[in-house]
Amino acid sequence: MSFPDVKHPTAASFAAAYFERLCQATRSVDGAAVSAAADLLEGAYERRAQVFVCGNGHSAAIANAFAGDHTKLVQTDTELKPRIQSLSANSAVLTALANDLSYADVFVYQLQSAAEPGDLLVTFSSSGNSENVVRAAEWARGNSLDVLSFTGFSGGRTRKLATVCVHVEADNYGVVEDTHNALVHVLAQYLRQARMSPALIADRVF
């Protein structure tokens, strides 16, 4: 059954149920997929490929946070220097494309302008079926870009298009998005510490 499936009398009881679903969601994430995602990102960062990130709504906020966290955090105390662009960040570009073309093309149009073979597309879509995300993933796969997708619910079309998909078994948008946000931190902090000495890790605050 989906969450919530009953009416909660207090915010406290709703919070307890929500956090339980969040724990279940985080436990559902496949460790092998997380490792594969880290490998894709590390490879892109090592070869200085451009990494494009996109999503809608709160997933747009996660895409923007990914760009910030991975640009700043991953290169702190390491030799990696990620090149990351959020396709969700520029409101002038987004509104121009949405107004003059269609909202379904706001991400793919930017990829067509800036992406090269060997670059990487990272997508966040809880349903996996956001049309603009799907079109971007389709174009990327057809033009020699790998696609790292983060999904929930059934995973939708994006899950099937991805080179690597990190899937969350949950059917509540907040729970899925909270788990995606945690995974952004997990991957950034993992990649940072992987390039640091044990003594330096112990000396730093993450």
Tell me which residue has tokens 């909202």: 103
Instruction: Report residue 143 as tokens.
Output: 């033009």
∠ Cα 122 198 43 (to 5°): 25
Distance separating alpha carbons of residues 155 and 82, to the nearest angstrom: 27
Domains (range + CATH), the chain: 50-203 (3.40.50.10490)
pLDDT, one tens digit per residue, over 83-109 is: 999 999 999 999 999 999 999 999 999
Residue 1: pLDDT over 90: no
- What count of other Cβ atoms lies within 10 Å of the Cβ of residue 42? 18
Could you give the CA distance from residue 84 to residue 67 in angstroms, rounded to a whole number?
Answer: 6
pTM value?
0.96
